[in-house]
Amino acid sequence: MYYSIQYQTEGNFIGKEYPQTECLTLIHAHSLNAWEFPDFEPKLIFNLSKKAILTDILSNAAINANGLLVNLKVKELLKRFNLLNHKFYEVIINYKNTFQTYYWLHICEPTIIDTIDYTKSLFYRTEYTFREELINLTSFEEYKILKSKDKDGSFGVELDQIYVTEKFNKNLDLLTFLPFDNNIYISEALKSALEENNITGINYEVATNLNI
């Protein structure tokens, strides 16, 4: 069984501001993307928002990629598991005029798209991120052809039910299916480890849309 994870958006754990952080190095944050690792070492500095609480995993709205902003405790825990292709980049968090070291877990493995069973999976066409009708896709290449004809940037595709082929690595403990689905999924083993270590800043939901 897999679970999707979401940032906690309210409650005593994160304080009264969401996202919890404000990026001071937007050029570097915006230069990160989900399709490749940067050819430079990104400089990532954040302020913790005044009404926010420092959690093990922090929410942010600045980094243009898929991943997690985690402290050393979470980083060391994640290293024990089988993650999608990734790198960790050091992040500085300004917290009450002291500097805390965090890490950006940068997830980047576009080829996972090729493990989707396109004949079984359920896709919807989106227009400016709003879901429209069902659409049949046979491959990622077909999606790219359709996207290339999109003149105004409105076209998109969203996965509703995900099925995978035998090429999928069932030993993965953390993964995502960009560009069709920006959720981060974790295995039951990783979820249990995060809960046992009282990791704060995220919630879990059973991934009923992921059929593995």
pLDDT per residue as tens digits for the range 92-143: 999 988 999 999 999 999 999 999 999 999 999 999 989 999 999 999 999 9
- Which sequence spans correspond to the domains of the chain? 2-110+168-211, 117-163
pLDDT per residue as tens digits for the range 133-172: 999 999 999 999 999 998 898 999 999 999 999 999 999 9
Residue entry with tokens 């990783």: 190
**pTM, two decimal places:** 0.93
